[in-house]
Structure 1
Amino acid sequence: MAMTLPTECWQEILKNVPIEDKKTLKSCLMVNRSMCKIIIPILWSNPFRYLQSSPHDQPMPSRINEQDEIIKMKINQKKLINVYISCMDYKSIDILNNNKIEIINRDKSIMFDYPSMLRELQYDIICESSSSWLYQELQLIKEFKVTTEDLEHNSKTREFKKLLLTRELCKMFMKSSTLIMNLTLSYYVPFVDMSFTPKDFFLINKLPGAEKSLKNLKKFKCSLLIDQWKEITKDLTKICGINGSLETLELKCIGEPSVEWIDDKSFINICELIKRQRSLKHIKLNCCGKYCNIAKAISSLSSQIDNIKSLEFVHLKFNSNNSNNSYLYNDKDNNFPLNFISKCKKLNTLIFKDCDELLDYNIFTTNDTPWFNHLTKLVFEDTSISPFNITKIISFCNKLKELSCDLGEEIDFLPEFALSLPITLKHLTIDAVEININILQQFLENIKATLETLNFPAWICRSFTDQHLYIICDKLKNSLKRLDLDLMSPENQQHNVSFESIEYARKEIEVVNIESYFRYDSW
């Protein structure tokens, strides 16, 4: 079948197909050779995405054969690595063979230069796929009786092989792909011996061709152990390209930092990285304790007030009176570290998770600050801010569509809290110590917004009964499309909700989920 439109037109049309929609893209692939040449680069921009299958993304019935799905995923990972190995140059093959990673029977009939098409490099997923490719070797080891010492040695050897294979793959990507747009560096040491942290494997910028490949990087996510972080930050500005093109930056530190890390200067490189960007729109900082100096990067966010659209802070403590966190407070300018938020003209998402001492900051007081005009999502999970102050905040947000907050023990305040919810609200998550039937009924009656989704996490669900469910159905069945109740958590077996009432709710509401995956956050 001949192409009636120019290739450029088809490329523009296919940009509107979600890249996750593999089924549609594969259908287009089979149309003709010309369409195939257009679709192949799209599918191979990040083929690893199609291998990921989190149980949190699926309802309960689909989890029955979860183990089979994992096996299937590992087989597909191995197949994908085989394709990439077939594209490797002989120098990398020799390196692998010299380290007892035997490469035999390479497929030489590869039709496309697949590595050149990669646009998203996810180090952790490539690592996992490399491990699956090496899985057969582990199976052979298990067939023989070996000592604990041998197992430990084999584990370290296999870990080294996995990282070496991953490095050679990344080396190929850096050399072949001239336009990596998204980079994720995430790695966890899988065994007890913490001395085995091969930091050089993470220094992507030192691979040949990396400077050209990463120069226009748009998204950078980094989640590493403390010691790995100290190494990475030295080359952070080089890893993230030289053109200041980042639009998304997500940083996470894992571990328990000691007090000495407060004086570590590695955070300066993070601040420098943020200041260099021309248009940084999405920022997430996830700290690992009160001494984690990633929090110091907040001081540089004011350089992006004209660009920021979303901000997320996780595990930060904003107590300016605490000497351990004094670096968050600027005495000279009499400014609190979050005051810059009121100057963010395009901010539409603001998230705080497990953050303390937010009450000290006067950033939500007036309705004439620019960021109130654009805010559509607001999250306060496990924070110290009071429900009363949350009410004051949301009263200014006339475009708010999504809200998540904890009311703690302030249950009686819930009906009044409902009155402050803007009419634009569509998605609501409420957590509290408990909620009785009368309070729930008053709360739902006072909501003027047309809610489409309502989420109740594990803590509040402990007090739920069948009557709670019937009230929700009665009050919201005309608008509610999805109801999430965390009833299946091991720690949440105190509820008195029967399966009969759940089935009743599923007849009234399109989706009723009793799992907790809606709060799952791997980052």
Structure 2
Amino acid sequence: MAHQLPTDCLNEIIEYLEEDKLTLHSCVLVNRLWCEISVRILWRDIWNFKCSIFRQYRPLNVASSILSTLIACLPNESKELLYKNEIFISTPTSKPLMFNYAAFCKVLSINEINRIVDSVLRDEPSNTINSLSLKDRNFLVANEVIKMFTNQISSLKKLAYHYNQYHNNFSFNYFPGMRNLSELHCSSNLPSNFFYQLSHICHNLQSIFIKFHNDVVSNELKELISLQNNLKQLTLLAYFNGSWTNIIPTLTKHANTITKLYLDSDNYKDNSSLSFISLFSNLQEIIFSFSFFSGTDFEDFKQLQHFNFPKLQKLKFLDQCPKPEYLMKFLEINGKNLKKLYMTENNVDLSLSIANFCPNLKNLFVIFNNGEIDILKTIFINCQYLESIKIWCGYRYLNEMEVLEMVVNYSPNSFHELKIYISNPDFISPNDLESFFIKWKNRAQKKVLSLIIIKDDYYCSSLINEGNMKIIKKYENLGVIKFENKGYEEEEDGEINDYY
């Protein structure tokens, strides 16, 4: 007789599959208990369908599927209101739904609701006659869906609400389920009443993400930030005329609790001095994403270079980097504890400083020019805890075969992940690739190697040839390697999402 696991035990096991959406979706088909547990997990953040089981479908099909399920969850009065206004959105079934899917949500994105509703209603047949404009219909549907969420969600963890000139903005009121809110994504120019209401009930936000569309910051937003008890993660984005300058004094209260900081600017003028970063002495992660075309020249890093961040473990420059001499000094002071370093800079002295000042690195991305293979060797020898490296190859960068030889001969015993960005569609020959796999297999101390090839989306229509794929499959089956290929944009999105 088959024994069934206790529900609590089964729930804990399936929780481990939260990031594996395909396997989690398979669990839905086992039985009703497995289905309910899996559906609860899948619907926690239904808006993240780009990285879920839905990626195999067209975006419109995904939007339509999500919206039709939400329409089926609406209370009867909302359905009647849509019907009276001649808005007809099909539901998955005429029968009652197995679950109240809306109640499972822990993440609420006002903008994603707007986008999904707009994409579905905009795709209606051209002969559909309705007395309301598309914008009014969008508002009506989205408003009823949002009202349903506010009535059904008992414990909201994340709220995303950004100003959008192309969508209706809602008079969004708080609801009891927001008392446990831990993550807020918002725009600085939302109605001040929105921040006023939040400040009265949400005092335990751990992560705040703000987009600045101008240099005006309301007192209500400042008050909301000031009242938080344990703010740990802060993301500030400024575009065009946006500036975070006026919010900085409010942040000083959280100088001892903030451990993660992400600054992103696409401004045409300098936003503010970066010296305020020195207030956060307990930072563990810092990410800069200042566009090369923003006009921000990182000159303020000249002062920041001398500050000590004793707990800093991750440092990323996703676009522009400070001057090499500033960054070298910063690494001299802060490099010892770094575990992850990512920078789009190709400077010989700076690359050598990584080997000298960052002995405990586990993850590295730095650009080497052609002829600098010995610097890579020095890094491998000096950074004995290195587990993963990302390298650009081809044209004026390092030769692929040189990199593979260096990896197999000098990478430390901890090393197990090689990411190669290629702009050369021919990559390397099957014989050379097999030679590398054989040498890796025969290393005295080795782990299964994750080989990730990142293609140039513009220049490479295909990733690697058929001969190389046969060799890769052979050594995957032997358990020597794990292989993955990505487009450049997919990899860059991953670097940004890694922060969140």
Distance 1:486 1:314 in 2: 27
Q: Give the superposition deviation at 1:217.
A: 0.8
Aligned to 1:306, the other structure's residue is in SS state coil
Q: Does 1:511 align with 2:447?
A: no
* Cα deviation 1:142-174 (Å, max 9, x = unaligned): x79xxxxx9xx99x9334423432221111000
Aligned to 1:391: 328
Aligned to 2:118: 131
Aligned to 1:307: 257
Residue pair 1:377, 1:402 contacting (<8 A) in 2 also: yes
Q: Give the superposition deviation at 1:11.
A: 3.6
Go from structure 1 to structure 2 and tell me whether the alpha carbon gap of 1:166 and 1:188 turns closer, same or farther (over 3 Å shift): same
Aligned to 2:185, the other structure's residue is in SS state strand
Aligned to 1:112: 99
Q: Give the superposition deviation at 1:287.
A: 0.5
Q: Does 1:404 align with 2:342?
A: yes
One of 255, 278, 300 as aligned partner of 1:339: 278
* Cα deviation 1:254-283 (Å, max 9, x = unaligned): 5xx5xxxx4x352x3332222111111111
Q: After superposition, where does 1:464-503 map in structure 2 within 5 Å? A: 464=397, 468-477=399-408, 478=411, 479=415, 481-485=417-421, 487=423, 497=424, 499-501=426-428
Aligned to 1:169: 145
Q: Does 1:248 align with 2:200?
A: no
Q: Which amino acid aligns with 1:52?
A: K
One of 207, 228, 231 as aligned partner of 2:190: 231
Sequence identity, in percent? 20
Residue pair 1:287, 1:294 contacting (<8 A) in 2 also: yes
Go from structure 1 to structure 2 and tell me whether the alpha carbon gap of 1:173 and 1:500 turns closer, same or farther (over 3 Å shift): closer
Aligned to 2:336, the other structure's residue is in SS state coil
Greater CA deviation, 353-362 or 383-392? 353-362
Q: Give the superposition deviation at 1:78.
A: 1.6
Residue pair 1:351, 1:379 contacting (<8 A) in 2 also: yes
Gaps of 5+ in 1: 58-65, 145-149, 190-195, 330-334, 488-496
Q: Give the superposition deviation at 1:427.
A: 1.8
Go from structure 1 to structure 2 and tell me whether the alpha carbon gap of 1:124 and 1:243 turns closer, same or farther (over 3 Å shift): closer
Higher RCO (CA-CA < 8 Å; seq separation 6+): 1
Distance 2:211 2:197 in 1: 19
Aligned to 1:352: 288
Distance 2:46 2:3 in 1: 26
Q: Give the superposition deviation at 1:430.
A: 2.0
Residue pair 2:203, 2:227 contacting (<8 A) in 1 also: yes
Q: Give the superposition deviation at 1:304.
A: 1.5
* Cα deviation 1:444-488 (Å, max 9, x = unaligned): 33442254333356xx96623xx622221121235352223163x
Gaps of 5+ in 2: 291-295, 438-448, 456-486
Distance 1:171 1:74 in 2: 23
Distance 2:404 2:138 in 1: 52
Aligned to 1:313, the other structure's residue is in SS state strand
Aligned to 1:102: 88
Q: Which amino acid aligns with 2:21?
A: K
Aligned to 2:390, the other structure's residue is in SS state strand
One of 247, 256, 271 as aligned partner of 1:297: 247
Go from structure 1 to structure 2 and tell me whether the alpha carbon gap of 1:476 and 1:44 turns closer, same or farther (over 3 Å shift): same
Go from structure 1 to structure 2 and tell me whether the alpha carbon gap of 1:283 and 1:8 turns closer, same or farther (over 3 Å shift): same
Q: Does 1:287 align with 2:274?
A: no
Go from structure 1 to structure 2 and tell me whether the alpha carbon gap of 1:306 and 1:100 turns closer, same or farther (over 3 Å shift): same
TM-score (norm 1): 0.72
* Cα deviation 1:330-364 (Å, max 9, x = unaligned): xxxxx9422302x32xx211112215445456445
Q: Give the superposition deviation at 1:499.
A: 0.8
TM-score (norm 2): 0.75
Distance 1:312 1:468 in 2: 33
Q: Give the superposition deviation at 1:307.
A: 2.0
Aligned to 2:293: none
Go from structure 1 to structure 2 and tell me whether the alpha carbon gap of 1:247 and 1:265 turns closer, same or farther (over 3 Å shift): closer
Over the aligned positions, Cα root-mean-square deviation in angstroms equals 3.8
Residue pair 2:70, 2:102 contacting (<8 A) in 1 also: yes
Distance 1:383 1:134 in 2: 41
Aligned to 1:423, the other structure's residue is in SS state coil
The number of aligned residues is: 436
Aligned to 1:482, the other structure's residue is in SS state strand
Aligned to 2:440: none
Distance 1:52 1:104 in 2: 23
